[in-house]
Structure formats: C-alpha cells, structure tokens
Amino acid sequence: MESTLTTKDYSNGNKPTWCPGCGDFAVLRGIQTALLSLNIRPENTVLVSGIGCSGKISHYFGGYSIHATHGRTLPTALGIKSSRPELTVIAVGGDGDGYGIGVGHLVHAARRNIQITYIVMDNSVYGNTKGQTSPTSPIGYQSSTSPMGNNDTPVNPLLLSWSAGASFVAQGFSGDFKHLENLFIRGIEHKGFSLINVFSPCVVFNKAQGYEYYRENIVYQDSSVSNSQEYVSMITEFPKSVGVLWEKDIEERKLANKPVYQDKKEIISYLHSKLA
C-alpha cells in the first residue's frame, strides 16, 4: 500500500524562530525528509533535544518529542530506546550542549552502541547566549569569554566518539541539503549508535565560519575507511571531511566479541517480565 505521508506530517505547525540563514533549518528539514523517505511514521518516532538554539528543534517536530535538560539528551534517548526498542529515537544537540556539559554521555552512548541517531549542530559558538567560545571553537577564536583568543584545543567529536566505540560516524554541512539528508537516512538505518556532526553555521555570532568558509574547506569523502589507522589519518589530515566516515555493522562487532544492545534483548525481556 502506497504511503500517504508528506513532510507536513513531521511538522506540528509551529514556525521556527531561528535567525534567518541559520544552519539549523536544514537539519530540521533533513530529519523530516529522511523519515519520510524511510516511511517511518511520526507516531513511531521520538526526537529528544537539549538546550540552546539546537534545542528548539523539538518545538517544531510533528512526532513525539522531549525538550531535555542541558546536556542530557543522550541518557533520555537511551532510556526511551531501552524501554521501547521498536521506536525510532533521534537525539539532537549543539556543540555546547553535546560536547560541553553532555560530552560524558556521548562516550557511554557510543560504547553501549544502542540504536539511536545523535545529530549535533556544530557552529563552534554558544549562539543562544550571544556568542561565547564553545568546545569546538578553534584556537585563537575571539569572543566575550576569550577576548585575547581561545587557548583551548577544540574537542574533536569524530575522534572522540570513534575511540569510544561508535559504530557509525558521519559529518555533514547544512549548505548541502541532499548530502545531509542522505547522511540522516543512513544514520537512522544503521543498526547501532550513530553520530552525525553537522557544520551548521551561526550567521550572527560566528561570521568567521559561515557558509562560504565551509564550502571552501570541506572535503567530500566518497566512502568510509576500512581500518583504524586510515580513519585517524583521514580525520587528522582533513578535519573538515564530510560523508559517512566510519561504519561497522552489528555482525562485525560480534565477530570482535564486542557486546551490543541487540545481543541483550532476551535478558531485557526477562527483566521486563519480572517487573510487570
């Protein structure tokens, strides 16, 4: 039977209040069109967001959504997926929310490898509070909290999540919508934890890293690499790589004797029966 869904089914009708030109518009639209392409119904989807400009995305989504506390999107999403594994669960955050106060949860979500998709809108600035240095701000970045230039080495989410055990790591750009949409589709389909870092420009408080900057600096990778040494070399040499950069499926992780959530379903079902 042909689906009658449209993108309107994934919107609750609220008008986004992001600044004109914000990269987050493309992320919202990409999630909606990816779910439509996969024919995943809104009532079978939960979107969990955190604090900051990125957190507003749950206000506009047509499926179930939760606006969680600062940095706690992942434990909230993991709890939902653990109790209702049949649902499609997407966690969304920003670089401040996800790689600052919430970075510890990223490590544990990656190593547990439960099937949720984590999309991070990375603009290298705290935009919601008017432009402070964030965990991904480059060295030398000047802001109200670093007027002499940022001295801290920025967090590298691609290496951090991968080293913790993420089985799917990708990076996209809000200025290339079709490419971004495809990353979302593949991340949602992936049988395990998927991190998708999105260069989502803040056109108001980080003009140095706008759309033209990324168009000039991103490097498209046609396929994921096959081993750890190649991955580290690629991310180190081309940190602005976009595409699916690392992907290992459940079977490969089983061969490596690394437990995954799907292996534990019988145990969880048994515990549920005892708690019923």
Nearest residue to 182 via CA among 217, 209, 222: 222
Q: Is 231 helix (H, G, I), strand (E, B) or coil?
A: helix
| CATH code of the domain covering residue 253 | 3.40.50.970
- Residues of 143-181 as b/e, b for ≥16 C-beta within 10 angstroms? beebeeebeeebbbbbebbbebbbbbbbbbbbbbbeebb
Q: What is the pLDDT of residue 266?
A: 67
Q: What is the pLDDT of residue 216?
A: 98
Neighbours of 2 (CB within 10 A): 5
Structural domain boundaries, residue 260? 20-275
Q: What is the pLDDT of residue 224?
A: 82
The answer to the question of residue 87 being in a domain is yes
The answer to the question of residue 3 being in a domain is no
The answer to the question of residue 8 being in a domain is no
The answer to the question of residue 190 being in a domain is yes
Q: What is the mean pLDDT of each run of 10 residues along the chain (276 residues)?
A: 84 96 98 98 97 95 96 96 95 96 96 95 94 95 92 96 96 98 98 97 96 98 88 95 91 54 65 74
Q: What is the pTM of this model?
A: 0.90
The answer to the question of residue 6 being in a domain is no
Q: What is the pLDDT of residue 255?
A: 47
The answer to the question of residue 27 being in a domain is yes
Number of domains in the chain: 1
Q: What is the pLDDT of residue 253?
A: 53
Q: What is the pLDDT of residue 108?
A: 96
The answer to the question of residue 11 being in a domain is no
- Do β-strands 117-122 and 194-199 pair in parallel, antiparallel, or remain unpaired? parallel
The answer to the question of residue 171 being in a domain is yes
Q: What is the pLDDT of residue 44?
A: 98
- Give the Cα separation of 91 and 77 in Å (integer): 6
